[in-house]
A and B are shown apart, each in its own frame.
Chain A
C-alpha cells in the first residue's frame, strides 16, 4: 500500500468514526458552557443508539431509505427527554451533577437492555437493514488527492456532524443566546442580575446536549454498529467528553479533537493492514485518546478554559 493509498483509506474512515463523537462532544460543549457537567452523555448515547435501532427495525419496511434519518430525529427527541432527568435532578433539586450523570449512565444502559430483552426476548437486536449510505459529492470528489480523501464515499452523517459543529460555534459565539449561555456558565449570579433566567438557560443547554447525544448514539448504531446490544456503546460517551476537554470547551476545538480520536479509533481497527501502524501494539492506539486527554489537562490547557461555574448548582439568593 502506498502512503497515499493509506491516506485514502484512513482519512474517510477517521471521519466516519468521528461523526458520533463530534455530535456528542458538541452536546457536551453546550451543557458545560452553561455550567452543568454532563457525565451522563454515555447513557444518553446508549438511549439514542437503542431507540434508533428499534425504530429502524420496526419501520424500515414502510420508510425504506428514509428510515435511519427519521431514526435520527426520534433519537434526538428521546435523548432530549432522557436528559431531562439530569436537568431536573441537577438544576432543580441541586443534586451533585457528577453523581447524577453516573446514575444517568447506569439508567440508560439498564433501560435499553431491559427493553431489548422485553421486545426481542434476547440480549441483542437483529441487524438493521436500512443503514446510512455513502455518497460521492459531485464535482468535489473529482479533485485529485483531496477528492478521494475527503469527498469520495462520504457519509452524510459526517457532513451533518461537521455542519453542526460550525453551527454550534455560530450560536455560542455570535448570538445573544450564546452570550447568555456562556454568562450562565461563567458567572450565574451576574447573569441573574441582568435578568437572565439561569434555570431556563441550563435546562435548554442540557436538553440540547441530550438531543445531540441522542443523535450521536443513533449515528453510531445506524452507521457503525448496525445493531444494538449492551456493548454497542462502551466508552463512546466518555470519549466525547474527552474530545470536548481536549478541544478546550470550544465547538471547533471539540470537532478537531473528535476527528483526531476518530483517527486513533480507525487506526486501532484497521491498523493491522497498514504499514508502520501494524508494528504499534494495538493497546497504544486504544488508550491514545485517553492518555492524550490527561496530558492535555496536565499540560497545555490552561485552567482558565473550563467554564468557571461548571459543576456548581445555582441557588438563588445565595451569593
Chain B
C-alpha cells in the first residue's frame, strides 16, 4: 500500500501525563481513515502533533515516504496537510474570503486583492461542490456552511491530506449526509482523509480503515469491511459494551409537569418555542429528541424560570410555575442537570464541596441568619461524594480539577439529593466515557422507578431510544410527534427530527399505553 502519512510510534507527554504512547497510524493514498477513541483517548493530541501544534517526544513522521519534522502549522501546510477543526477556527466578523486567505493573502500594490481571492474561492467551491458564498460574513452563515469554509481553507492552501476533527458533532442529519458526500468527492479528486470520531455509525458508513486508540495507547488498525460496531466498541472501551440499558417497563401515574401552548423567544426576540404542549407523568422518562437549536434550550430555560415565557402555561403538580423566579421553581420540586456543566452547572473555581451546596447553601441547616456554616457544607459534600461515587481527592478540591464524569456525578448527586418531583436532564452524558454514561443512565431510571418524573433532552438518538419511555420529537419549537421507542425505528425518528411528518399508520401512538 502507498502511504501518504505515516506516524510511527508517536509519544507525546504533558508533564507527567502521557497523552500518546507508542501510537502508529498509516494513511493510504485515497482512503478515508478513521481514528477512533473515547473522549480523552488522545485523538486530538495525535492530530495536533501531525499538524505541528505539538512536538512529539518520540517517534517519526513520514509524509509521502519521507521523514519530516513538522515544527508548526505552516510546515504542515507546506506538506499539504490541512485540518478541519472541530471548533471552527473562523473569525466571526470576517467574510468567507478573508478567513480563507488569512496568512496567505494575494496582494496588489501592498493591498489585499480581495476580488481575485474571492474569485479563486468561488472556483474552488464549485470544483468540490461546496456551495459557499465568498462574500458572506461568517456570523451570518449556517454551521454547515462554516464547516465547508473550513474545508475550503485547507483546499485553498493546496492541501491533499485532510484531517477532519469530529466533523459531525454540531451538524444536522442532512448536513451530515452532505458532508459524507463532500468527503467522497474529495477522495475522488485525489485527496486522502483522516476522520477523527467516536461515532461508530459514521465510521461504518464512510471509512475504509480504522485505527483505534484507548487511553493514549494504540490498539490497532482494522479494515472497516472486515469489522462490526460491536468489535470496534470493544476495542475502543476495552471491554464488552452493553448498548442497551436494562430497565423494566414504566408505570406512569399522575401528571407531574404539564405544559400547554408555550411560546418562548430567544435573546434576539425570535420565537424559538412555538405553541408547545407536553406532559411528563410520575414514574416515566420522557425523552425530547431533536436536532440542536430547535428550541430545546429555550424550553428548559422556560421551565426552570431562567427565560421569560411569552405565553402559555407551565404547571407542576397542579401549581403554576409560569413567571416564577428560578429559586422558587427549584424549591417547588424541580431538579435540573444543565446542558453545559462547565458554564451552567458548576462554579469551576469553587471546591467541589461548595458546588454540591450550590442549591442549598442559603437554607437551614447550612445557613442561619445570613451566616454560612461551611462545616455543614463539607458534611453534605462528603455524603454525596460517597453516594454518587465522585472520585476526588477531597471535598476541598477545585471542581476544575475533576474529570468530566466526576463533575457530572457531583451535579447529579446535588440535584437528586434534594428529592425533586421532576428531574430535568439536559444532555447529561455529553462528552463522557462509556462507564460514566452507564452510571448516569442507571440513576435516571432509578429516579423513574422511585415514582419521579424525568425529562431527558438529548441530541443522541441512541440515548433517547435506550433511556426514555416516551419520546417527544421537537422540531422548530414544537412537539411534532410523540412516539414509543419500542415501536419506532431510528430512521423514522430521524425523519421526524428533520421535520417530516411520518404517516401515522407506521408508528403506534403512545397515548393508549
Contact = CB atoms under 8 A, between A and B. Distances in A.
> A and B: partners?
yes
Interface of A: 170, 174-176, 179-180, 182-183, 186-187, 189-196, 304, 308, 316-317, 319
Given A317-B53, A317-B54, A190 B90 contact: yes
B94 A195 contact: no
Interface of B: 48, 51, 53-54, 72-74, 77, 83, 85, 87, 89-94, 98-99, 101-105, 107, 110-112, 153
Contacts of A179: 94, 98, 101-102, 105, 112
A191 B111 CA distance: 19
B90 A191 contact: no
Contact of B89 (A174, A193, A317): A193
A308 B139 CA distance: 13
A195 B73 contact: yes
Contacts of B74: 195
A191 B89 CA distance: 8
Given A179-B102, A317-B54, A194 B112 contact: no
A183 B89 CA distance: 11
Contacts of A174: 111-112
Contacts of A304: 93
Given A179-B98, A179-B101, 6 more contacts: A175-B111, A182-B91, A186-B91, A189-B89, A192-B73, A304-B93
A194 B102 contact: yes
> Of residues A179, A182, A190, A316, which shows the largest number of chain B Cβ atoms within 10 Å of its Cβ?
A190
Contacts of A190: 89-91, 99, 102
Contacts of A191: 91, 102-103
B105 A176 contact: yes
B73 A175 contact: no
Nearest to A305: B93
B92 A186 contact: yes
Contacts of B101: 179
B134 to A, nearest CB: 15
Contacts, number: 68
Contacts of B153: 194
Contacts of B110: 175
A316 B73 CA distance: 12
A304 B137 CA distance: 14
Contacts of A317: 48, 53-54
Q: Is the interface of A mostly helix, strand, loop or mixed?
A: helix
A174 B113 CA distance: 9
A191 B103 CA distance: 8
Given A183-B102, A192-B73, A176 B91 contact: no
A319 B94 CA distance: 20
Given A176-B107, A319-B87, A186 B94 contact: yes
Contacts of A193: 51, 53, 73, 83, 85, 89
B112 A308 contact: no
A294 to B, nearest CB: 24
Given A174-B111, A175-B111, A175-B112, A195 B103 contact: yes
Nearest to A316: B53
12 contacts: A175-B107, A179-B112, A180-B102, A180-B103, A182-B94, A186-B92, A187-B89, A190-B89, A191-B103, A194-B153, A195-B72, A195-B74
Contacts of B51: 193
A183 B94 contact: yes
Closest 9 CB pairs of A and B: A190-B89, A194-B103, A195-B74, A176-B105, A174-B111, A186-B91, A187-B91, A194-B102, A195-B103
Given A179-B105, A317-B53, A187 B112 contact: no
Given A174-B111, A174-B112, A186-B93, A196 B53 contact: no
A182 B105 CA distance: 14
Contacts of B48: 317
A192 B85 CA distance: 13
Given A174-B111, A175-B110, A176-B107, A196 B102 contact: yes
A183 B99 CA distance: 9
B92 A187 contact: yes
Nearest to B86: A319
Contacts of A308: 92
A133 to B, nearest CB: 33
A184 to B, nearest CB: 10
A213 to B, nearest CB: 26
A319 B110 CA distance: 33
In the complex, which of the residues A180, A193, A195, A196 has the most CB atoms of chain B within 10 Å of its own CB atom?
A193
B77 A195 contact: yes
A195 B94 CA distance: 17
A187 B98 contact: no
A249 B93 CA distance: 14
A316 B71 CA distance: 14
Nearest to A308: B92
A125 B98 CA distance: 51
B105 A194 contact: no
